[in-house]
Amino acid sequence: MTGKKKRSSAPLPPPSSSEPALSSSSSSSSSSLSNECNRVFGILHNGNYSKALEAAKSLVSLHPDSALVHKDIAISISDTSSVRRHEHVASALYFSKAALVLSPDSISFPMLRAVVLLTNEQYDSTIQECESALSIKNPLDPMQDNLGIVQYTPLESTLESRVGKVRTKLRELIAKAKKYKFKKLVEDNSLADVNEEFRALLEMKAEMSTRLENVRQSLVELPSPSTSRKLLKKVLLNVDAITRARAYWNNEMSLEAKKELLSVRVDANFDKNKSMGMKAKEVLAEAVEYAKEMKNWKFSTCCCCGERFLDEELNMEHIKSAHLGTLSEELQSVVPRILPKSEIEIGDWKPVDVDAAVKLIEDLPRNESGDQGQDKGKSQDLKLENWPYCNDTNRDEMIKRIWTILQVLIGVKCFAQSHLYMLLDLILEMLKNRIPETLLKQHWMNRTLVSVLFLDEPELISVREFIEEELEISCGLGGVYSCFTMDNAMDDLTISHERIIFSNDLSHLILLLDETSAKASRSVDESRNACQEYRDDIVQWLYMGSEPIGEQLEEWANYRKASKNLGMELFMIIESEFRRLQKICERKYKYLREEKLWLDMEGICLEEDKRREEISGNPQSYKSLLLKRQKRLRWRKVMMRWIAWSWIS
């Protein structure tokens, strides 16, 4: 909406035959009427539907002209296809509109009508009604209407506090209407099918994660019982030797001697070594050649063409560009911009003492630099260490929960810039009741998630529900967590349990058995502390030996084969997701283009309406104006083709 519409004061049409005649609403606005409605709801909540319906009928017969009664009865009838329910909703709408005409400055009656409209799934009308109510400058005291929709505490003894509470309720209704409208849009279109397909893909990813983890575990499994018994026999036969070796390694052997022992020369002719099998020589040659070139043992292989990359991200970029393709410029322009992690990295997420914070904000110097001073305002006015934090365990837990959810969603690219704007709007509406809006905007709190820290416990619950429910509709939040877990499991596959590095001249390989040593890609000089005291590890390795090389090669081959197969399955999922994204972007681009055309036509008609008001006589028909526009567009299209043809020729 570009502006607030004034409420029409046109007379009400007479009620239909199904609508009772309008009479005085004094009885319907009494507290006893509200109590009677609550009694009906109490019976309904106890599960006695037939008794609740009978009580509702009796209440309607006593108060046939009450919008509040008809609203409550319409809500209490759960069957949405019920004719009776539609009759009560129609009556509630009629009488709530009558109440608005009789009391145009009331802020409670618009809220009542908005509740009825929301019940009737008229979401746009609900939003319009709430915004009209919020635009009332000097509303009447909501306590006078006594509708029973909003309960007031003894602390809310002033007119401002009661009006503020009703306005909060109106903003909540706007948020609900927008949420339900979006949910209905998803359910009524093929987006619901897309959501189900997306969930199915996430389940496939979860299954792949389990299989991948099983493959990884097979590489680090403990020896079998028979192998363990053999190793134990070796130890028992060499107890004295092991004891002496341990003492020599820990107490007498120098650091240089340890390095030399763990160093193996890389001979160009190592393939002539008769102690190694042919397969082992091939694997070693391949590994050494790659490591010398890339200065790293680790690599990620493209499942489609076999090209190697230093990490998974480079591999994924290669797959997207070389094997999937990219979206056209038109489609790329409608892809939502994903929020960067820096937006939620605002320091410690801890609850703030709002009263003390408001005083602190009021004492801060006014930032009059406008938009150009945004960074300055953030860096000086919003230093988090200066906020008055408080020890509120419940708020702290909820704030941490919100931060965790946002971190997960941003990590899996499911939190767009539009989601941030919706979230900030919701938070700003909540904070308006305690912090003046001018202060919020003056210190940029309406543009940063630091404002979450100022919310009370009920408001934090609303924010968490908003994030979870909104994104549950659009991308399946529950499945996103599984996807995030799978990504973490895939990252774990890069862990190396045995570290091997090159010397500076690439002539030797250094074996590092200490888990706390430097990474394998570092040189010896960068790993001076790598050869620490290994205690029993080195001795056990020397005397107990390791798994036979043939078995290790077989496991390695099986692992690479399984990884490639899983990679192809993952590629098929990525390809399916890309095609789906492409189709959604095509639909969105088409929708936005058609929307622009409709807005252009609307603008032409509105311009003609304005001209007719200013200049009397000789009005042009809308049809002729639109035909002129159509001819102009065709001529422009022809000219563009002619220009393109001229360039080519």
Between 255 and 149, name the one with better pLDDT. Answer: 255
Most confident of 190-199, 384-393, 454-463, 633-642: 454-463
Burial of 66-82, coded b for 16+ CB within 10 Å and e otherwise, reads bbbbbbbbbbbbeeeee
Between 100 and 537, name the one with better pLDDT. Answer: 100
* pLDDT of 147: 57
Q: Out of 176-180, 271-275, 416-420, pick the least confident.
A: 271-275
pLDDT above 70 coverage of the chain, percent: 59
Token pair of 79, please?
A: 């069957």
Sheet containing strand 263-265, strands side by side: 263-265, 508-512, 499-502
Q: What is the mean pLDDT of the chain?
A: 71
**Residue-wise pLDDT tens digits, 471-519:** 665 555 555 555 554 455 444 444 444 467 777 777 777 776 554 333 3
Cα separation, 239 vs 234, in Å, equals: 9
Q: What pTM value is reported for the model?
A: 0.55
Looking at residue 474, its amino acid is S
pLDDT at 9 over 60: no
Token pair of 347, please?
A: 């320091």
> Tokens 């635009």 belong to which residue?
135
Q: What residue segments make up the domains of the chain, in order of their start?
A: 31-187, 341-492
**Residue-wise pLDDT tens digits, 64-108:** 766 666 665 555 554 444 666 676 667 667 766 766 776 788 888
Alpha helix positions (H), 312-456: 312-318, 329-332, 354-363, 374-380, 393-411, 417-431, 437-442
pLDDT class for 119, splitting at 50, 70, 90?
A: confident
Between 185 and 344, name the one with better pLDDT. Answer: 344
Average confidence (pLDDT) over 308-336: 86
Residue 520 CA, distance from chain mean position = 36
Between 527 and 47, name the one with better pLDDT. Answer: 47
pLDDT class for 436, splitting at 50, 70, 90?
A: confident
pLDDT at 184 over 60: yes
pLDDT class for 139, splitting at 50, 70, 90?
A: confident
* pLDDT of 187: 62
Average confidence (pLDDT) over 534-561: 70
Instruction: Match domain 31-187 to its CATH number in 3.40.50.300, 3.40.50.720, 1.25.40.10, 2.30.140.10.
Output: 1.25.40.10
DSSP secondary structure string for all residues of 281-337? HHHHHHHHHHHHHHS-S--EE-TTT--EESSHHHHHHHIIIIII----HHHHTTSPP
pLDDT at 326 over 50: yes
* pLDDT of 487: 52
**Residue-wise pLDDT tens digits, 632-644:** 777 766 666 666 5
What is the DSSP code (8-state) at residue 223? P
Dmax (CA) of the chain: 117
Average confidence (pLDDT) over 27-53: 63
* pLDDT of 342: 80
C-alpha angle 97-123-468 in degrees, rounded to nearest 5: 140
Count other C-beta atoms under 10 Å from residue 156's C-beta.
17
Whether residue 549 contacts residue 574, with contact meaning beta carbons closer than 8 Å, is answered with no
Dihedral sign computed on CA atoms, order 530, 531, 534, 539: positive
C-alpha angle 116-117-119 in degrees, rounded to nearest 5: 65
Cα separation, 198 vs 485, in Å, equals: 16
* pLDDT of 377: 39
Looking at residue 614, its amino acid is E
Between 41 and 131, name the one with better pLDDT. Answer: 131
pLDDT at 200 over 60: yes
Q: Which of 171, 149, 184 is nearest to 75 (CA)?
A: 149
* pLDDT of 190: 56
Between 309 and 179, name the one with better pLDDT. Answer: 309
Residue 221 CA, distance from chain mean position = 37
What is the DSSP code (8-state) at residue 496? -
Average confidence (pLDDT) over 446-459: 82
pLDDT at 300 over 80: yes
* pLDDT of 240: 77
